[in-house]
A = this chain, B = another copy of it.
Amino acid sequence: MSKRPRVIVIGGGFAGLWAVRGLAKAPVDVLLLDRNNHHVFQPLLYQVATAGLAAPSIAAPLRHILRDQRNVTVLQVKVDGIDTTAREVHAAGQRHHYDYLLVASGVSHAYFGHDDWQQWAPGLKTLDDAMNMRARILSAFEIAEGCTDPAEVQAQLTFVVVGAGPTGVELAGTLAEVARHTLKREFRRIDPTTARVVLVEAGPRVLPAFPEELSDSAERQLQKLGVQVMKGRAITHVDSEGVRIGDESLSARTVLWAAGVTASPLGRMLGVPLDRNGRVPVAQDLSIPGHGEVFVAGDLASLVLPAGPVPGIAPAAKQMGTYAARVITARVAGRAEPPPFRYKHSGLLATIGRMAAVADMGRLRLSGLLAWWLWLLAHAYFLIGFRNRLVVLIDWAGAYWTYNRGARIIVRDQ
């Protein structure tokens, strides 16, 4: 076989994919392992969940994205173990040797010790999650239309979104739009515009990562869309009937979870101490203690720089992936290593609904229509692949003019 150093990258999200691309010209063989066959543009997952976009519009096969990079082999496998002493990754009954390893397997949703809530309150991290959410949301309206019991109709038309970070805000705002506009004329027995969308946030404000003035603006924009915002209120129970918020019970057949993340279990396989969310603390070259050849990037990595912790967002993941590729390239070439990783913050964007968004670009703070255009352009630009971008833009343009949503298909019920 080849004598070139073997780099294994686990995870084809933003961090992993950008690392692989960064190694395109390095004299290494890259093996990219992912459970799924596709890279997914996570910032638009909520659009798939709310039936605005088809799943293939925000995803592309990893091997298609990387088809021209001849030093990469892509395998769709689930990683079962990592042996940092033998320098091997175990997957699908095989052992893959590495000289350098990058773990970028991300995070999934956390239920704060209440894993049984998951069946009633699905989260949103993968396309599967998004398809499930879509089926639940649309089915609630379908069931309500067939219902004769008014209390049950009301419970079916009550949607609770838990957590007011960007995903929760996007879900709540879009859900309110779907109920008030998209479905408006399509039912005969129920009035979908009476649907109640409740956004519950344990902290004191929505979008806690944003400046306070933008949080306030986001809350006003949510209310304008018809979302009921409950701040400083914790979910204390979830079951098939609904939720308990503090001591108060709320009948709701659809509960969507956007409240917390927990690190991928692969972090535990590295044999190093983890932070309290299960993330892997890394050095400033993104390597782990005691293993300079093992790197962690993206949401799974925990790194506090002098300017503060590196946030778990797509631009940070891309930067870390690119940086890890540079370190590996330098090592392989015997060149001096690059200076320690620095995170370049280009701003925070969160969309809320039609023409509603907030943008924190440092000194420039926008909300409403302007922020929404900025968000739209940024996301269309960053979507991978020309075709996807074009189809997404057509879908958006259509949705903008008609309020219709092109992907309202219940493919599989839970």
A residues with CB within 8 A of B: 36-38, 54-57, 59-61, 63-64, 67-68, 72-77, 92, 94, 127-128, 131, 138-139, 142, 145-146, 148, 185-189, 387-388, 390-391, 394-395, 398, 404, 406-412
Q: Which residues of B contact A55 (CB under 8 A)?
A: 54-55, 409, 411
Residues on B with beta carbons closer than 8 Å to the beta carbon of A56: 54, 406-409
Chain B residues, CB < 8 A from A38: 408-410
B189 touches A73 (CB 8 A): yes
Contact B387 A406 (CB under 8 A): yes
Measured CA separation A189–B73 after assembly (Å)? 8
Residues of B within 8 A of A407 (CB): 54, 56
Complex contacts, A185 vs chain B, CB 8 Å:
67-68
Which chain B residues border A37 with CB–CB below 8 Å?
138-139, 142, 408-410
- Please, how many angstroms separate the alpha-carbon atoms of A138 and B407 in the complex? 22
CA distance A139 to B38 in the complex (A): 12
A146 touches B76 (CB 8 A): yes
Please state if A128 and B391 are interface contacts (CB–CB under 8 Å): no
Instruction: Flag if B409 contacts A127 (CB, 8 Å).
Output: yes
Report the Cα distance A186→B61, complex, angstroms.
Answer: 10
Alpha-carbon distance between A74 and B410 when the two chains are bound, in angstroms = 15
Give Cα A76 to B59, complex, Å: 29
Alpha-carbon distance between A398 and B139 when the two chains are bound, in angstroms? 33
> Residues of B contacting A63 with CB < 8 Å?
186-187
The residue on B at minimum CB distance from A38 is B409
Expressed in whole angstroms, the Cα–Cα distance for A391 and B127 within the complex equals: 21
In whole Å, how far is A324's beta carbon from the nearest beta carbon of chain B? 22
Shortest C-beta distance, A152 to chain B (Å), equals: 12
Other A-B contacts than A37-B138, A37-B409, A391-B394, 20 sampled, CB-CB below 8 A, are: A36-B410, A37-B139, A37-B408, A38-B410, A54-B57, A56-B406, A64-B404, A68-B185, A72-B188, A73-B145, A75-B142, A76-B142, A76-B145, A76-B146, A92-B146, A94-B148, A128-B411, A131-B411, A387-B394, A394-B394
Q: How far does the alpha carbon of A139 sit from the alpha carbon of B260 in the complex, in Å?
A: 32
What B residues does A75 contact at CB under 8 A?
142, 145-146
The smallest beta-carbon distance between A260 and chain B, in angstroms, is 25
Closest to A146 in B: B75
CA distance A65 to B179 in the complex (A): 17
Asked if B73 and A188 make an inter-chain contact with CB atoms under 8 angstroms apart, the answer reads yes
The answer to whether B128 and A412 touch across the interface, beta carbons within 8 angstroms, is yes
Q: Which 6 A-B pairs have the closest CB atoms?
A: A54-B54, A56-B407, A76-B142, A63-B186, A73-B188, A54-B56
Residue of B nearest to A91 (CB): B146
The answer to whether A394 and B390 have CB atoms under 8 Å apart is yes
Which of A75, A404, A406 has most chain B Cβ within 10 Å?
Answer: A406
CB distance from A349 to the nearest CB of B (A): 25
> Chain B residue with minimal CB distance to A72?
B188
Of residues A55, A56, A142, which shows the largest number of chain B Cβ atoms within 10 Å of its Cβ? Answer: A56
Tell me whether A408 and B61 are in contact in the complex, defined as CB-CB below 8 angstroms, given that A145-B75, A146-B75, A186-B67 are known contacts.
yes
The residues of B that contact A92 with a CB separation of less than 8 Å are 146
Chain B residue, CB-CB nearest to A29: B188
List, in ascending order, chain B residues with CB within 8 A of A139's CB: 37, 76
A321 to B394, CA, bound (A): 33
A149 to nearest B CB, angstroms?
11
Asked whether, in the complex, the Cβ of B77 is within 8 Å of the Cβ of A146, the reply is yes
Q: Could you tell me the distance in whole angstroms from the C-beta of A1 to the nearest C-beta in chain B?
A: 12
Measured CA separation A127–B409 after assembly (Å): 9
Contacts of A54 in B (CB 8 A): 54-57, 407
Q: Write out the residue numbers on chain B whose beta carbons fall within 8 Å of the beta carbon of A73.
A: 145, 188-189
**A54, B391: Cα distance in complex, Å:** 11
Q: What is the bound-complex CA distance between A134 and B92, given in angstroms?
A: 22
Q: Is the CB of A61 within 8 A of B148?
A: no
> A151 vs B67: C-alpha distance in the bound complex, in angstroms?
26
